[in-house]
Amino acid sequence: MGNHRCYCAYRCFTAGVLWLAFYPQTTHVIILRALLINSEIETGCIMTNSQSSLRPPANSIDELPASLQYIAQSLVKTDTLQAKQVRQVVMEAKIQPLDLMPWSDFNHSATDSYGRRLVYDGSFFEMMVMSWRPGDVSAIHDHGYTQWGAVQVFGPAEHATFLVQDGEITCLSRTLLKTGQSMAVGHQLVHQMGNTTDDQQFITFHLYGNTQRNHDITADARVFDLNKGIIERTNGGVFHALPQHLVNSTEPAPTPDYLCWLRNTVDITQRVRAAKNAGFTNLSRHLDTLHNDLFDRRKKQQLLADLNQHVNSDGHAINSYWWKLLCHELTVAAQVQAELLQDTSSSNDAFQTYAELYDSVIGQPCLDSFISKYLQFMRDHYEIDFSQSSLLSLGCGTGLTERYIIEQLGMHKKNLLGIDISEAMIHVASQHIHAEIGDVMEIDPAVQRWDLAFCGLNIFQYLPHQNFAQAISKVAAVVKPGGYFFGDFITSDHIRWYPNLVFSDDQQIISLRTPKLIEKNQQMYQQSHILNIDFRNQMRITDEGHHQRYLPPLSRVRGIFEQFFSGGVEIYDAVSLDPISADADTCLSTRYLVCARNE
What is the distance between the alpha carbons of residues 280 and 286, in angstroms, rounded to a whole number? Answer: 11
Report whether 133 contacts 157 (CB < 8 A). Answer: no
- Which pLDDT value is given to residue 569? 98
Strand, coil or helix: 504 = coil
* Number of folded domains that form the chain: 4
CATH number at residue 91: 2.60.120.10
Same domain, 487 and 498: no
pLDDT at position 189 is 98
CA–CA distance, 223 with 85 (Å, rounded to integer)? 27
Q: Does a structural domain hold residue 215?
A: yes
Does one domain contain both 287 and 425?
A: no
Give the end of a domain, one of 205, 228, 255.
Answer: 255
Whether residue 503 is found in the same domain as residue 450:
no
84 with 145, same domain: the answer is yes
Dihedral-angle region of residue 167 (phi above 0 means left; psi in -120 to 50 means alpha; beta otherwise): left
Residue at a domain's end among 316, 340, 364:
340
Residues 6+ apart with CB under 8 A from 446: none
Q: How far, in Å, CA of 161 to CA of 18, rounded?
A: 40
How far apart CA 577 and CA 571 sit, in angstroms, is 9
Q: Is residue 277 part of a domain?
A: yes
Looking at 170-319, list the stretches that DSSP marks H as alpha helix, in order from N- to C-terminal side: 258-277, 287-294, 300-310
The 10 Å Cβ neighbour count of residue 42 is 16
Indicate the residue type of 176.
L
- Beta strands across the sheet bearing 17-22: 5-7, 29-35, 17-22
| Within-domain flag for 33 | no
The answer to whether residues 576 and 534 belong to one domain is: no
Is 48 contained in some domain? no
Distances (CA, A) of 144 to 224, 253, 472: 13, 16, 67
What are the DSSP E strand ranges found in 210-292? 221-225, 230-234, 249-252, 255-256
229 and 175 together in one domain: yes
Residues 6+ apart with CB under 8 A from 457: 362, 363, 366, 371, 395, 397, 488
Question: pLDDT tens-digit profile of 321-330?
Answer: 999 999 999 9
Does 500 share its domain with 486? no
Q: Which helix (H) or strand (E) holds 452?
A: strand 450-455
SS3 63: helix
588 and 441 in one domain?
Answer: yes
CATH of the domain at 468: 3.40.50.150
Render the burial of 276-312: b for 16+ CB within 10 Å, e for the rest.
beeeeeeeebebeebbebbbeeebbebbeebbeebbe
- Whole-number Å distance between alpha carbons of 84 and 101: 26
User: Which pLDDT belongs to residue 471?
Assistant: 98
* Cα 350 from Cα 564, distance rounded (Å): 30
Task: Please tell me whether residue 513 adopts helix, strand or coil conformation.
Answer: strand
* Residue 5, domain member (yes or no): no
The verdict on 363 and 224 lying in the same domain is no
Q: Nearest to residue 161, comparing CAs of 182, 196, 185?
A: 185
- Whole-structure pTM value: 0.87
The distance of Cα 526 from the centroid of its chain, to the nearest Å, equals 18
Cα–Cα separations (whole angstroms), residue 131 to 38, 180, 203, 446, 540: 22, 15, 5, 66, 34
At 149, the amino acid letter reads G
Indicate if 60 and 120 belong to the same structural domain.
Answer: yes
CA dihedral sign of residues 224, 225, 231, 235 = negative
Q: What are phi and psi of 530, to 5 degrees?
A: -120, 130
Report d(CA 490, CA 529) in Å as an integer: 17
Instruction: Find the distance separating the first CA and the last CA of the chain, reported in whole Å.
Output: 90
Same domain, 194 and 111: yes
Residues with Cβ within 8 Å of residue 410, at least 6 apart in sequence: 385, 386, 387
Q: How far apart are CA 135 and CA 278, in angstroms?
A: 14
CA-closest candidate to residue 170, choices 109, 47, 258: 258
Question: How do residues 221-271 score in pLDDT, each as one tens digit?
Answer: 999 999 999 999 999 999 999 999 999 999 999 999 999 999 999 999 999
Residue 134: inside a domain: yes
Pair (122, 247) in one structural domain: yes
Number of Cβ atoms within 10 Å of the Cβ of 391: 23
Residue 142 domain-assigned? Answer: yes
**Measured between alpha carbons, how far is 544 from 533 in angstroms, rounded to an integer?**
11
Where does a domain end: 340, 369, 387?
340
Taking the C-alpha atoms of residue 372 and residue 563, their distance in angstroms, rounded to an integer, is 28
User: What are the 10-residue block averages of pLDDT along the chain, 599 residues in total?
Assistant: 33 32 34 36 48 82 98 94 97 98 97 98 98 98 98 98 98 96 97 97 98 95 97 97 96 97 96 92 84 92 96 97 96 93 59 81 96 98 98 97 98 98 94 97 97 98 97 98 98 98 95 98 98 93 96 98 98 98 97 97
What pLDDT shows up at residue 168?
98
Whether residue 80 is contained in a domain is answered as yes
Range of the domain at 393: 354-491+552-597
CA atoms within 13 A on the CB side of 454: 25
